[in-house]
Amino acid sequence: MNEYDVVVLGGGPAGLAAALASFEQGMNTLIIERENRLGGILKQCIHDGFGLIKFKEKLTGPEYAQRYVDKVLACQMPVLLSTFVLTVEKAGTGFVITLVNAAQGVAQIETRALILATGCRERTAKQVFINGTRPAGVFTAGTAQHLVNIEGYLPGKKCVILGSGDIGLIMARRLTLEGAQVLAVYEAKSTPSGLSRNIVQCLNDFHIPLHLSTTITRVFGDNRVEAVEIARVDENMRPIKGTEQVISCDTVILSVGLIPENEIADMLGVEIDAATKGPVVDQNFMTSVEGVFSCGNALHVNDLVDYVSESGEIAGANAAQYVREATPRQLAEIKMSPDFLYVVPQQININSSNRKAVLYFRSREVRENMRVTIKSGDQVLLSKRYVILRPPEMERVRLVIKDGLASNQIEITMEPVKNKEMAL
């Protein structure tokens, strides 16, 4: 049985960065990817805007991914492509992975540490409960993106988009550029789900209307979509009677959210955070199962790939550190006030030699002029002012963990900036 120090599951931007960080620390590292090419979802994201933080350049998705793929190829790290992991089991101080591929059939490998970088999957029509028939012409935004950008097919000519997530916004522009008519984007919430820059560049610039507090209540058509019924919704997202309207179209694109892909984590009994749907981790991105790390969109859905790569680097470097010297953990919980949608990591390992934590968080609602404070007992670890906090825009802060935390619990809160402070 082949043995590795670190095995990375998933060859997207998170997995590539994690594998490189582990390899650079001298670890015998393997990447396992179920598709036949590295790069993850970025392979189909041919628009630009990637890498502004990481490389200070405006790259396309494939260009961004290729920078990491080239590095992986240059260091001749082993990579198993078109390989599917069947099971992962804890065995002694490490894990046994059972996988299947065309060259080896069913095979087993051993590893000391495992990094889960399996990305996320899209919510489908089944998860948003739209009434009506089930004709052809209903696609998730990612499937439409794959059809247009990889296969070269146009999924429809007269499209409506449900949900204002970033992939839907990007597809509104892409489908328009490819000659389809995008009638409108309907969003059940009262605020858009996507980044402001995507609202401006993908909808406003192409005169595509965005209808907030509106949803699709019914799909019509036998073989192919012929129309949809839309309706305004109240503050509880319930359709308001009398506001229904029928819109003629042949395609419905769904952009209604992403869910971290964590079947392997479930198999291992990793604790999952109900808010992120990804594993609960410490600042080293180690999960509740010692030796199992998580990063990228498998950990929580990111809006910028630059932070996906950053989380991969953190997981990779710390998986290497774990293989070198696994020390017992002492975990302090990060307790968030209800103003936050989530905070990652959810714990700090006070015993870790890594005294720097990168925290990612999202506000539950749009809030203006807020101060976010992170405290342990009376000890203020960080205090930062924000002009605006919006749920679609993930925030990132760096925390230095001082020796001798005042309490075994860390609190993150936000409160309005005082008038006097605003005047300064």
Rg (CA), the chain: 23
Binding to ligand FAD by residue 119, rule CB under 6 A? yes
Q: Which lies closer to ligand FAD via its Cβ, residue 13 or residue 221?
A: 13
Decide if residue 32 touches ligand FAD (CB under 6 A).
yes
Rounded to whole angstroms, the Cα distance separating 338 from 11 reads: 35
Longest dimension (CA), the chain: 69
Rule CB under 6 A: choose which of 6, 117, 138, 148 binds ligand FAD.
117
Query: What letter would DSSP give residue 239?
Result: B
For the bound state, the minimum distance from the C-beta of residue 367 to ligand FAD, rounded and expressed in Å, comes to: 24
CB of 16 to ligand FAD, least distance (A): 7
How far apart are the C-alpha atoms of 110 and 105, rounded to whole Å?
16
Give the count of residues interacting with ligand FAD (CB under 6 A): 35
In 134-233, beta strands by DSSP E: 138-140, 158-162, 181-186, 210-211, 214-220, 227-232
Q: Which stretch binds ligand FAD (CB under 6 A): 4-12, 66-74, 100-108, 318-326?
A: 4-12
Distance CA 171, CA 369 (A): 33
Please report whether residue 10 would count as binding ligand FAD according to CB under 6 A: yes
Output the CA angle 367-370-374, nearest 5 degrees.
Answer: 120
CB of 9 to ligand FAD, least distance (A): 5
Q: Taking a C-beta distance cutoff of 8 angstroms, is the pair 214, 123 a contact?
A: no
Per the omega criterion (within 30 degrees of 0), is the bond before 416 cis?
Answer: no
Using CB under 6 A, which of the segments 128-136, 267-275, 301-309, 411-419 binds ligand FAD?
301-309
Binding track, positions 241-280, relative to ligand FAD; x by CB under 6 A: -----------------x--x-------------------
Answer for the pair 167, 143: CB distance below 8 angstroms, yes or no: no
Q: According to the binding rule CB under 6 A, does residue 297 interact with ligand FAD?
A: yes
Residue 20 engages ligand FAD in binding (rule: CB under 6 A): no
Contact status: 13 vs ligand FAD (CB under 6 A): yes
How does strand 214-220 pair with strand 29-32?
unpaired
Pick 122 or 229: Cβ nearer ligand FAD: 122
CA neighbours closer than 13 Å in the CB half-sphere of residue 78: 15
Q: Is 162 in the site for ligand FAD (CB under 6 A)?
A: no
Residue 40 as a binder of ligand FAD (CB under 6 A): the answer is yes
Q: Structure tokens of 38?
A: 């590295």
Position among 35, 63, 110, 393 found at the interface with ligand FAD (CB under 6 A): 35
| Contact range with ligand FAD by CB under 6 A, out of 39-47, 152-160, 175-183, 352-360 | 39-47
109/410 with CB nearer ligand FAD: 109
Q: Any contact of residue 24 with ligand FAD (CB under 6 A)?
A: no
Residue linked to tokens 């009398």:
242
- Choice between 166 and 282, CB closer to ligand FAD: 166
What is the side-by-side strand order in the sheet with 409-416?
Answer: 347-349, 331-336, 409-416, 367-376, 379-389
Q: Rounded distance, CA 162 to CA 290, Å?
A: 40
CB nearer to ligand FAD: pick between 140 and 214:
140
Interface with ligand FAD (CB under 6 A), residue from 8, 19, 41, 331? 41
CB of 80 to ligand FAD, least distance (A): 9
Using CB under 6 A as the binding rule, whether residue 142 contacts ligand FAD is answered as yes
Q: For 246-310, what is the HEC assignment?
A: EEECCEEEECCCEEECCHHHHHCCCCECCCCCCECCCCCCECCCCCEEECHHHCCCCCCHHHHHH
Member of 45, 59, 109, 389 binding ligand FAD (CB under 6 A): 45
CB of 94 to ligand FAD, least distance (A): 18
Return the number of the residue (12 or 239) whose C-beta is nearest ligand FAD: 12
Q: What are the residues facing 386 on neighbouring strands?
A: 370
Binding site for ligand FAD (CB under 6 A): 9-15, 32-35, 40-42, 45, 84-85, 117-120, 122, 142, 145, 167, 170, 258, 261, 296-298, 302, 304-305, 308
